[in-house]
Amino acid sequence: MQDEPEVAVLRLGHRPGRDDRMTTHVGLTARALGADRVLLAGEASQTRETVADITDRFGGPFEAELVEGGERVVRDWDGTVVHLTMYGLPVQEVEDEVRAAHADEPLLVVVGAEKVPFDVYEAADYNVGVTNQPHSEVAALAVFLDKLFEGRELRREWVDPEREVVPKETGKRVEPADEGD
Ligand SMILES: C[S@@+](CC[C@H](N)C(=O)[O-])C[C@H]1O[C@@H](n2cnc3c(N)ncnc32)[C@H](O)[C@@H]1O
């Protein structure tokens, strides 16, 4: 988020066709919950376009990028690397340490699709479990980002939206964004 070191999310192991929807949800969740960028390893151009389109319509800043060699991104990351995995240390035990690291340097949050190569477990500074039960990369990412930002991401201001949702008790209301928002 603004005025803080970057948070990037790396989506590893995307399988075109099979993972399209899940990879898109990783990107949209990263954007909505305070990350600055999603890095998509593999043939995920459809996801990149969808996330860019949502950012154009509902505001940024947020970037979606295709990368080659996801494992290399992990190895070369200039900052802290958190790999979300059901086999990792419980998030509630490491969140303070990760937050302190992120106060000083960029954070890369890695989520998988199919089996994640063991090199990633070794290269990560923290292997973190959101519970030690199997579930979903989208759920793990959402809980992790909310803990990292301690809820601040829910009050994020969006820059240059074309339209805005007006919260309502019942029904749906979307309006053109005010000039200067
Ligand atoms: C459907 S899981 C597949 C994991 C795969 N079986 C493996 O062994 O790597 C896809 C991704 O969801 C995330 N994930 C699933 N459960 C998790 C948990 N309890 N804590 C953190 N991340 C989790 C991980 O990033 C994982 O790579």
Whether residue 180 is predicted with pLDDT greater than 80 in this model: the reply is no
pLDDT above 90 (res 1): no
Helix, strand or coil, per DSSP, at residue 139:
helix
Which residue has its alpha carbon closest to ligand 1 atom 18? Answer: 86
Rounded Cα distance between 159 and 177, Å, is: 10
Q: Which atom of ligand 1 is nearest to the CA of 111?
A: 25
Which pLDDT belongs to residue 44? 94
Nearest CA to ligand 1 atom 22: 85
Q: What is the CATH number of the domain that holds 11?
A: 3.40.1280.10
Give the percent of the chain with pLDDT over 70: 98
Q: Is residue 142 part of a domain?
A: yes
Per-residue pLDDT at 27: 98
Residues touching ligand 1 (Cβ under 6 Å) are 84-86, 111-113, 115-116, 129-131, 133-137, 140
Is the pLDDT reported for residue 114 higher than 90?
Answer: no
Looking at ligand 1, which residue's alpha carbon is closest to its atom 23?
85
Instruction: Give the total number of structural domains in the chain.
Output: 1
Cα of 181 from ligand 1 centre, angstroms: 38
pLDDT for res 31: 98
Domain with 30, as residue range(s), is 7-176
Mean pLDDT across 82-103 = 98
| Ligand 1 centre distance from Cα of residue 136 (Å) | 6
Alpha-carbon distance of 167 to 152, in angstroms, equals 18
Backbone angles phi, psi at 116, to 5 degrees: -90, 130
pLDDT value at position 181?
A: 47
Residue 3's pLDDT band (cuts 50, 70, 90): confident
pLDDT of residue 179: 63
Distance 59 CA to ligand 1 centre (A): 29
pLDDT of residue 178: 79
Q: In angstroms, what is the span from residue 52 Cα to ligand 1's centroid?
A: 25
Q: Which residue has the higher pLDDT, 99 or 178?
A: 99
Whether 181 maps to a domain, the answer reads no
CA distance 32 to 80: 21
pLDDT above 90 for 98: yes
What pLDDT score does 2 carry? 76
In a domain, 2, yes or no: no
pLDDT confidence of residue 35: 98
124-141 in b/e burial notation, b at 16+ Cβ within 10 A? bbbbbbbeeeeeebbebb
User: pTM for the complete prediction?
Assistant: 0.96
The answer to whether position 145 is within a domain reads yes
Q: Does the residue 62 lie in any domain?
A: yes
Give distance in angstroms: CA of 157 to centre of ligand 1.
Answer: 30
> Residue 127's beta-bridge partner residues?
83
Question: What is the mean pLDDT of the segment spanning 35-43?
Answer: 96
